[in-house]
Every structure is written in C-alpha cells, then in structure tokens.
Structure 1
Amino acid sequence: MSNRETYLGDVQDVSGTTVSLVLSKNSMTGFIYIDGQGYRVGQIGSFVRIPIGFDSLFGIISQVGASAVPESKIEDVASGDKWMKIQLIGEGQRNGVFARGLSQYPTIGDEVHLVSEKELKDIYGQPDKPYFVRVGHISNADSIPALIDVNKLVTRHSAVVGTTGSGKSTTVASIINALSDSHRYPASRIIMLDLHGEYGRALKDRANIYKINPDKSSALKEKGLHIPFWALNFDELCEISFGDFSNEKDRNIVLERVQRYKNDSLLKFPKKGASTDTLSVDSPIPFSIHNLWHDLYVETFGTYYNKKAGRPIDNLAYELDANGQELKGNAAQGIPPIFKNVKNEKDDDEKINYLPGSLNLGRQLLLLGSKLRIPRYDFIFKPNDWNPDGDGKVAADLDSLLKGWIGSEKPVTVLDLSGVPPDILQTTIGAVLRILYEALFWARNLSQGGRHRPLLIVMEEAHIYLNDDFKGMASKVVQRIVKEGRKYGIGAMIVSQRPSEINPTILSQCGTFFALRLSNSTDRSHITSALSDNLDGLTSMLPILKTGEAIILGEAVKLPMRTSIVPPPKNARPDSQDPIIYDEIPSEESQNPGGWGIAMEASPNYEEISEAWRAQNPKIDKVK
C-alpha cells in the first residue's frame, strides 16, 4: 500500500491537541480504495495517522466543513477548500506499540493519512492476550474485535451510561458475562447492586442471588439477603434506626449506650482481633438492639410510685390488661411496655411520677420500635443466623456473611435490593459498600484481600443514590472507593441513565466510559467534561447511536471506538426489555407472550396480580 492511497492532505494549523488540514484534490471525491476496500473520507469518528519520522501520531476526525476552519485562517480560505479538524489522542512507536498521550506534536506541512482497517487491527490489540476481554466488534468493521483491558477496566473504574432503551442493561450483562468466564478468569470476583431485580435471570448460571424476600420455589435459587445492624457503623445505625436527633446530647447518650452494650457483649463472647481497649462504637460487635431499645424506652417513658419502697426502677407502675396481667412489653418482638399515667396529687398514696432523669428520645424510640415490629425491616434487625440474643451471642459471624458475598464458588453475587424500604435504601446501599470496602481494606495483605483477588462492584441505577453532593452514606463511601479503592483492589462500575445527576467528582474518577445513546444535552455535557481526552466531536455522535451500540473510550481501550456490543442469548438477558406492543411474527412463533395483536385469555387470572403484589415478588417462573 503506497502512502499516496491513504493521503488526505497536509497540516495547516496546530493548536494544542487540535490539528486542522485542507483535503487534497484527490480526496475531495469523498471515496478512496485501500487494498480493494472502499473508505469514505471525512467521516466523523474516523481515524487518521500523521507520520513523524519512525513514529506516527494518531487522531480522530471531529469536524468537517466550514466549522473546521481555524479562526486564524478564516480570511485566507480559498474557494473550494475542504477543511477538516482532528483531535490527537496518541502515538504509534517504531516497535509497533501504540501508546496514549503525545511525546511530540506535528508541524505545518506534515502529511495526514487515513487509517485502514488493517492498521486498526494492529492498534486495537490482539484477542489472544488474556488481559483483553471481547465485548463486541467495531461498528462497520466486523473483523475487528472490541477488546477491553481488564486491568484498567477494574482498578481504574468505569461508567456505563445511556438513555432508557439504549441497551444499557444488556451491555452491562455482556460485560459481566465476559469478565466472569470461568475458563479465562477462574478467580474473578464481582458483586452487583441490583435495585430493580433485573439481573437474576441474566446471570443465574454464574451468580448467587441474594434477596430480602427470596422465592424458595424459584429456579433462580434465591438466598436471603441479611445486613446485620451490628455490622453498621454508628452513623449508619442511627440513620436506619433512630433517624435525626434534636440535639447532640441525645445522640451522645445513644452513642455511649451502644458502646456499653458492645463492650458487655465482647466480655461475654470474645472476638479475635477485638479488645475492650480498642473497641469503638463503630466496631462490628454483635449486641441486642432490642434490649437497647427496651431499656431506653423504659427510661424515657417509664413512671414509678412515689411513696413505695425500693428503687424507682424496681417499682415500675405497669398498666394491667383485661386479664389483670402486667403489660411489660416484649423486647424481642419490639412491643413496648405500657405505663400508668402520671398522677401528681400531693400526699396521694399512689402518686405517680416519671423516672428521674428521663431521656428526651421519645420520637426516636417510637420510630425504632415500629421498625422492630415491621417484618420488612427484619433483614437488618432480625438477620437470621446473625441475629444476636439478649447477651449478644450469634450463630454466625462476619466471616460467613463475607464468604457468601465475595467468597463463594461462583464469580458473581447479585444483591437484589428491590425489596428494601425506600426510606432506608440509600443508607442500606452505603452500609453494604462500606462493609465491602473496609473488609478488603483491612485484608489488603491477605490472600482474600483485594490486592490478591480484586473485586469489581457494579452499581446499577447509580443516579438514585449518588446525586446528593456526598451528603448521603452511599455518596461518601463511593467517593472513597473511586479515589482510594484502586490501591486495595476495589473497582467500581457506575451504571446510570442520567449521568448529569451523578456527582461530577465521582464521574470524573472513572477511567473508562461505555457511552450508549444519550439524547439529553445535559447528560452529554457531563460525559464530555469527565473525559480526559478532547473528544467533543466523538461525543457529539451519542444521540444517533443505534440500540446496543456504544462509544468506548478511556484507559481500558487503546483508541476510542464505536462498538456494537454482542448481547447475551435471549434467555440470559436482563429483565428490562421493552414490551412489544404488536409483533408481526405469528403468535405461536413469537418470543413475546402478549401484546395488543393477540386475543386475550378467556378467563385471565387477576388473583395472581394481588398475590404477586402482596408478596412483593414478580414470580418470574410463572411467566410462560
């Protein structure tokens, strides 16, 4: 192949990483042939090469036409000239290795050449390298695989963004399937936060699925999701249990009481690595929150007989129920005692007062009591084998919890959070992320730690809990993960349909972007501003991408590439596809079980709707 075949023109202007040129007369036809293959000249997103000695600079065409003329050349533009603007992104060295960044710049008069498909194959990488994982192929070039560097993808963080219906969930499933290939990566470790229960079916063969209300009859073999309250730090525990405190004094009272309960539990049931000298209120030591609540409730609402003998706390005046039994409540069930009303009459033998030094925690204790009684909060306050008895004894400890999440025989763990009450969703996500981070942080030098076996955390629907300027628990932890997680083998994959709602600080720490179709200009501008390369021309293509097509750019790819993502098989895709309103395929051959084009059942069973609603379970297995 001669250089004349690929020649486009000469450099006319250089401004930083932006290069402008005038197309040669031979290229003005807009179509050239290289090795028998036709190429259209001037396509936005096409690659060009600028030879400089033994090396070559590579860039992407970002603008073509009058808008590509540099300001300094506007008055000198000759009639008929066709201008092109290029963004430089890296250089190919004489040994055939491509590297991002520039060690030199072009000068006026340097030749600019179109990059052929053969050259792109050499640049994009080789599929046989084990650290490259294939997620699809280059759009309009089926023979060139889209390869992702696993080392850079996991530890340098990534983001998958795209408008609803752009193929975002399918892209995530394809990436997870590629990363969890047991033959290629037998020790891969991935945990996914699934807010809408979309990925259980897609990853069932290679994932453990944890759910608050598991369907024991489901083919997905769902397991119960439990997040022990005693594994939360004090701030997380307060947000989930007590809510806000009216003043610092009340908060400190609860803090000291939690510290005391943990200390008593540790004395009765010692834990390796913990001692009373180093114990803090944030230490993950089991204790009975039910007993804590009951004791605080008595101190806040309890009354006593003023003239009876003994300590007031021993002479609590409980109301009597209809059978004459004292209503002392039940700490384990969250049922509060009922006290006699205050009777403040002088010299009365049954004068009743409040306990001296009563606490001002009424609102907080009423809130916690209701959560202890409501079953939907049991995954935190009654976490099965991790639920302490009155003394703080548990049947299972943190090691079994972590082994289930990040140490099982399957490479993927899906935490289905679709049943988490909305009022504690953000704090719950923050607690899960912090538990994972701290576990791998402190185990960084152990074989189970992140340095020896890195962990990828996939955060679906991230805009829901990362949009509050780090005021929420989840935002604070994710900020720490994206800034420091790389050193401890913890990688993050942020998945969102609204990148503009994610805090820019978090987004800017993502080294690789999978940008699918984005119609909203605000979302596009957030992606453009978060990129290290000056690729405005490439990101301007985001509104016109096809479904399942993505522009992949950043550290995990050698060159930015427009990619057709290969979707998983139809029976292994996320439960997020658009329903088909009318299917042209005859109903007996169609994959769509319903739609407007077929007649309704003779007797549709609406009892199943109420059953699924009340059970908070979509019952996937019942769908034919």
Structure 2
Amino acid sequence: MTDQATHLGSIEDVEGARASVLLNEETNFGLSFVEGYGYRVGQIGSFVRIPLGYDDIFGVVSQVGARAAPQADEEIPSHGNKWMTVRFVGEAAQGEELTTGLSKYPTVGDDVHIVTKDELTRIYGEQNQSGQINIGTVVGSDQIPARVDLNKLVSRHAAILGSTGSGKSTTIAGLLHNLATSSAIESPRVLVLDIHGEYGAALRNSANVFTTNANSARHESELQIPYWALSFEELVDVAFGEIQGDRDRAALVEQVENKKKESFPEQDIQGIDQSDINVDTPIPFSIHKLWSELYKLVRSPHTESRDQSLNTVAYVTDEGGDPVDPGSVMNVRTPETRRHDQHAGVYVAKPDMNIGRQVDTLTYRLRDSRYDFLFRPGEWLPDENGAVERDLDELLESWVGHNSGISILDLSGIPSDILDTLVGALLRIVYNSLFWARNRAEGGKRRPLLVVLEEAHSYADDTGDGSAAESIQRIVKEGRKYGIGSMLVSQRPTEIDSTILSQCGTLFSMRMANSKDRASINSVVSDNMEGVLSSLPILQTGEAIIVGQGVKFPIRAQIDPPPADSRPESQDPPVISQDEGLGWNQEISNPEYDKVLEHWRKKDPNIPTDDTRGDE
C-alpha cells in the first residue's frame, strides 16, 4: 500500500490541540477504498494519521467544510469547503501502541492520511488483551470490536447518559449480559439499583433479583432492608419524619441507643461488647417495642399528672384490675385506655419529648404494608427482645457475594417519599461493609464491586443534598481506593450534581438533543473532545461516543444489544403492530379491568393467571 492511496491533504494551521487540514483537490467526501476496504472520508469522529518521521500522530475529525478553515482576515482560498478540523489525541512510534498526549506537534505542510483497518486495530488494541470486554463495534468499521477497560471502568467510575429512547437500558443489559457470560470473567460483582423494575425480567437467568413483590416462579427473592441496619438519621427520615428540636432529637437518640444496648445480650455478635455500641451501630433492636413505649409516653392518658412513666398509663381494666386490652406490640395495636378526666385522676400525656406527630407517623408506617420490606424484613425482623434469626452477613452475601455475581435490587415498589433515603442507606451499608473489610477476601480491594445507579438524576440532583447524594459523593471521591465503583445512568445529566458527574472517568454519551444536557457533558470532558461530542443529537439508537479512562481513545460505537430474551422492559409499546393483541389496529377482546385493578392494588405487573395461581 502506498502513502498516496491513503493521502487526504495537508495541515495548513495548528492551534493548541487542533489543526486545520486542507484536503487534496482529488479527495472526495464519501467512500474511499484502500486495499478492498471502504473508508468514509470526512466522518465526524473518524481518525486520521499524521506521519512525523518514525512516529505517527493520530487525531479525530471534529468538523468538516468551509467553517473548518482557519480564521483569517483575508478571504479563504478557492478550496472553499474542502477543509477538516482535526483534534489531536495521541501518538505512537512505528510498531508500538498508541499513547495519549503529544511529545511533538505537526506543522504546516505535514501530510494527513486515512487511518486503515490495520491502524484502527493498532489504535483500539488487539482482541486478546486481558482486562477488556467487548461492548459492540466501532461505527464505520464493523470488523473492529469496541472494547472498554474493566479496571478503569469500575475503579474510576462511569456514566451512561442519553435521552429517552437512546438505548441506555439496553446498553446496561448488554454489558451485564457480557459480564455474566464472558469466559474470561469467573465471578463478576455488580449491584444494580433498579428504580423502575426494568432489569428483573431481562436478567433473572443470570442475576439474583430482589423485589418487594417477589415470585418464586420468576426466580425472585424478597427485597429486605432491615431498619436496624440504617443510621440514626436515615431511621428518623423513614420512620418518624423530620424532628425539629435538638432536645427531642437527643432524647430519641438516647432511646434508640438504649434499645440497641438492651438487645445486645440477645445477639450472637462477635468482636464488640456493649460499650462499643452507639446509635449508628447496626445492632438489631425492636422498633415495635420502641413504638409501643413512645406511644404510651406521648399519646396515652396517665394516672399521674407529672409522672409520665409507662407504669402510669390509664388502662381500661377488668374487675381484677388487669388491662382489658394492653395493645399488641408486634401488631402495632394501641392499648385501650380511659378518657381524659382530671376529676377521675386521668391526665393528658405531657412528656418532655414533643414528638407526638412523629410517633403518629411511625404508627402509620409500621401498619402500612408498603413498608414491610423495611419494618417487617422476614428473618431479619427482631422480636420484642431484639433477637433475630439471621444477621446482616447473610443479607450482604446474597447481595454482593453470591455465585452469579450480579444482583438487581428492584426499588420500584418502594414509596417515593423515602426513596432518596433508602438509596443512600443501601449505598452506605455496602460501602461501609466493603471499606472496613477491605483487607479480607470479601472486601472491595480483593474483589471490587460495581454499583449501577439507574435514573441517577432522581436522587443525585444538582443540589447535592440528601442521603443518596452524600453516599454517591463518598463513593466517587473515595471508592477507587477501596474497590467500589459506580456507574450512573441518566437522561438528564444537567440535573446531576456536578461534583458527582465530574468524577466519572468514562462517559458513554448517547443521543441527546437538549443543548443544556450536552453542555453539562462538554463541561466534564477535555476541551479537545467537544467537537467529537457535537454529533450527539444525531446518533442512532444504540450508538454511543465513549470517552475517558475506560478507553484508550474516543470510540463511536454501536453497542451490541443482549439476546432478545434478555432485554429490559424499556422498549416503546407499539401504537400500530402486526402482532396479535398489540396496538391500536387490533380488535379489543375480553377486556378484564378487574385484573387491572388487582394489579394496581397489589402493585405487581406479573400476577399469574387463574390457571397458574396454584403453582406459586
């Protein structure tokens, strides 16, 4: 192959990390053939090569046409529109791999060439490189696989950003499918926080799926998040709501800490003693017993006007003086008490703690079945004495230590008013466990964890407030050192906290029309990549421009979708369809709106039909 066959033009202007290239008169935009392979000339995002003696400089085309010409006072010469802007990305000595950055710059008159298939392979690396995973193919060169470096992808964090319908969910599903099926990966470690319940059906054969509406026929497990694993602040948010006064908060801290210390003898806990316990220590205790005592203290009438102890509750009693109904702690049933009547010695409760409204909130949430995953977490539910059947080690193992290696926590059934706090709590629990055990085989240093955060803008917004944002900031700032990586997925990058987004070392930028969202992406990538990202509005579904530490050089890739039976439930429903029972063009037959109501009430889209109910 001669250099003339690949020659495009020459450099006419160099400015910092970019150059203006004047194309040859005979160079035509379109398809050019070199040794039987076709190459698109003038494609945004395509590579060019600039020989400098024994070295080659490589660049990416960011602009084509008359506006790519260098700015000058005089009118542009007759070549008019035959210009390209090239942004430099790296260099390589002959026969060696490419490295980012430049040790020397081209100058006016240096030749510019098409990058051929062999040189593309040189850019993107050989297929047998360890530590990399295929995610698709390079756009314009279907024979070149697009690969990312797993070490950098996980440890330096990543973000998948794109408008609705651009292919984000399919990209995640494809990546997880490749991790689960790759012969080079024995035991991946991935935790997916699935806000809309898209991935359970897609990956149930290769992942552990946890949901609030588990069905064993669908190989799902119940999502259980024990309240006693939460920090005090998280527990207050999900159980009581806001507590204003410092005095009331301090009193509640004392109550919770005492309950944990009282229950400690009931536990088989190694390595600590009672003096090590504080209000944030993840020790089982009975929140139902705490509720019962707080309710009696602040809501029940008493037989002494000043002594509001539990022993002075004014019960309705039988002839023997015993309470007719003292209530039920575990069933959250209030005791039957006498009416307020000071003449009869029955006084309104006037405790030192002004938390009546908060206790009412706890009463409601303990009774609400939507919160059962939290306040009645199966075998992790403490009895009145605080004893549990299973400890957190088994819960952690089911999330991040099982054989399949991928866990999906379906959070679609969680009440929206506590979603932010629960996401923050989950991330904190996982982070703390892997951080403190970092030197053990189960820790993050020995076996890193990737946390995938779907709809990240919902809880990591640009205010930077909230439990979730605080936990994510900690992971993106410190997680690299302890083997805990994050992958944010969002359709609105402009709403994500800029501190969090700026820490994502690898960006998968998919189709995005909103100018503000594109600007937020440009703000966190290097200046010489802005031209490459200018094509975001016109990317096809499933295409992504990948930049950052996970790839040696920018890639415009067509992401490989997972198999048809492993795709997330995020596709657009057809309005017009040839499939029976789908679309507006199909006849309505046997509508069952009673089933619609049943699904709604149960908050489960997968209730089995009548002929399969008996098999559950």
Structure 2-normalised TM-score?
0.93
Q: 1:61 to 1:620 in 2, by over 3 A?
A: farther
Equivalent in the alignment of 1:616: 603
The aligned runs of 1:234-253 (5 Å cut-off) are 234-253=232-251
Equivalent in the alignment of 2:119: 119
Query: Could you tell which deviates more after superposition, 614-623 or 289-298?
Result: 614-623
Cα distance in 2 between the residues matched to 1:472 and 1:357: 31
Secondary structure of 2:347's match? Answer: strand
Cα distance in 1 between the residues matched to 2:94 and 2:356: 75
The answer to whether the aligner puts 1:376 opposite 2:378 as a matched pair is no
Secondary structure of 1:133's match? Answer: strand
Cα distance in 2 between the residues matched to 1:578 and 1:376: 29
Q: String of CA shifts for 1:191-242, please: whole Å, max 9, x gaps.
A: 11111111112111111111112123x3x21111100011001111111011
Equivalent in the alignment of 1:273: 271
Q: 1:356 to 1:422 in 2, by over 3 A?
A: closer
Equivalent in the alignment of 1:553: 547
Q: String of CA shifts for 1:273-332, please: whole Å, max 9, x gaps.
A: 222332221110111111112112222224333499x996433212469xx963422221
Equivalent in the alignment of 2:353: 359
Q: 1:277 to 1:313 in 2, by over 3 A?
A: closer
Query: Could you tell which deviates more after superposition, 138-147 or 74-83?
Result: 74-83
The answer to whether the aligner puts 1:315 opposite 2:312 as a matched pair is yes
The answer to whether the aligner puts 1:226 opposite 2:221 as a matched pair is no
Cα distance in 1 between the residues matched to 2:442 and 2:305: 63
Equivalent in the alignment of 1:464: 458
Letter in 1 for 2:192: M
Letter in 2 for 1:528: N
Cα distance in 1 between the residues matched to 2:567 and 2:310: 61
Shift in Å, 1:533: 5.1
Cα distance in 2 between the residues matched to 1:137 and 1:153: 18
Equivalent in the alignment of 2:523: 529
Secondary structure of 1:478's match? Answer: helix
Equivalent in the alignment of 2:299: 301
Secondary structure of 1:530's match? Answer: coil
Letter in 1 for 2:133: V
Q: 1:228 to 1:8 in 2, by over 3 A?
A: same
Shift in Å, 1:101: 2.4
Cα distance in 2 between the residues matched to 1:622 and 1:119: 57
The aligned runs of 1:131-530 (5 Å cut-off) are 131-181=131-181, 183-216=183-216, 218=217, 220-269=218-267, 271-306=269-304, 313-319=310-316, 326-344=324-342, 348=343, 350-354=344-348, 357-530=351-524
Equivalent in the alignment of 1:41: 41
Q: Is the 8 A contact 1:191 1:412 kept in 2?
A: yes
Equivalent in the alignment of 1:595: 583
Cα distance in 2 between the residues matched to 1:554 and 1:315: 67
Cα distance in 1 between the residues matched to 2:286 and 2:301: 24
Shift in Å, 1:580: 1.6
Q: Is the 8 A contact 2:305 2:347 kept in 1?
A: no
Q: Is the 8 A contact 1:192 1:415 kept in 2?
A: yes
Q: String of CA shifts for 1:496-540, please: whole Å, max 9, x gaps.
A: 111121112111111112222111111111111122352222211
Cα distance in 1 between the residues matched to 2:77 and 2:94: 37
Query: Could you tell which deviates more after superposition, 296-305 or 114-123?
Result: 296-305
Q: String of CA shifts for 1:19-46, please: whole Å, max 9, x gaps.
A: 1222233325666432233434322211
Shift in Å, 1:141: 1.6
Letter in 2 for 1:129: Q
Letter in 2 for 1:255: V
Q: 1:40 to 1:87 in 2, by over 3 A?
A: same
Shift in Å, 1:268: 4.1
Paired residue total: 609
Equivalent in the alignment of 2:79: 80
Cα distance in 1 between the residues matched to 2:526 and 2:609: 48
Q: Is the 8 A contact 1:162 1:515 kept in 2?
A: yes
Query: Could you tell which deviates more after superposition, 120-129 or 368-377?
Result: 120-129
Cα distance in 1 between the residues matched to 2:607 and 2:147: 34
Q: 1:274 to 1:61 in 2, by over 3 A?
A: same
Cα distance in 1 between the residues matched to 2:28 and 2:181: 47
Q: 1:356 to 1:599 in 2, by over 3 A?
A: closer
Cα distance in 2 between the residues matched to 1:541 and 1:29: 18
Letter in 2 for 1:511: G
Secondary structure of 1:534's match? Answer: helix
Root-mean-square deviation over aligned CA pairs = 2.5
Cα distance in 1 between the residues matched to 2:462 and 2:504: 18
Cα distance in 2 between the residues matched to 1:303 and 1:201: 52
Query: Could you tell which deviates more after superposition, 379-388 or 564-573?
Result: 564-573
Q: 1:306 to 1:467 in 2, by over 3 A?
A: closer
Shift in Å, 1:257: 1.1
Letter in 1 for 2:178: A
Q: Is the 8 A contact 1:313 1:355 kept in 2?
A: no
Letter in 2 for 1:61: V
Query: Could you tell which deviates more after superposition, 144-153 or 356-365?
Result: 356-365
Q: Is the 8 A contact 2:208 2:220 kept in 1?
A: yes
Cα distance in 2 between the residues matched to 1:230 and 1:413: 22
Q: String of CA shifts for 1:44-76, please: whole Å, max 9, x gaps.
A: 2111112223222211111122322333x3426
Cα distance in 2 between the residues matched to 1:610 and 1:118: 60
Q: 1:296 to 1:113 in 2, by over 3 A?
A: same
Shift in Å, 1:413: 0.6
Q: 1:92 to 1:307 in 2, by over 3 A?
A: closer
Q: Is the 8 A contact 2:29 2:42 kept in 1?
A: no
Secondary structure of 1:329's match? Answer: coil
Cα distance in 2 between the residues matched to 1:228 and 1:306: 37
Q: Is the 8 A contact 2:300 2:313 kept in 1?
A: yes
Shift in Å, 1:354: 4.2
Q: 1:533 to 1:91 in 2, by over 3 A?
A: farther
Unaligned runs of 5+ in 2: none
Q: 1:184 to 1:306 in 2, by over 3 A?
A: closer
Q: String of CA shifts for 1:596-616, please: whole Å, max 9, x gaps.
A: 233222x23322212211221
Shift in Å, 1:618: 0.7
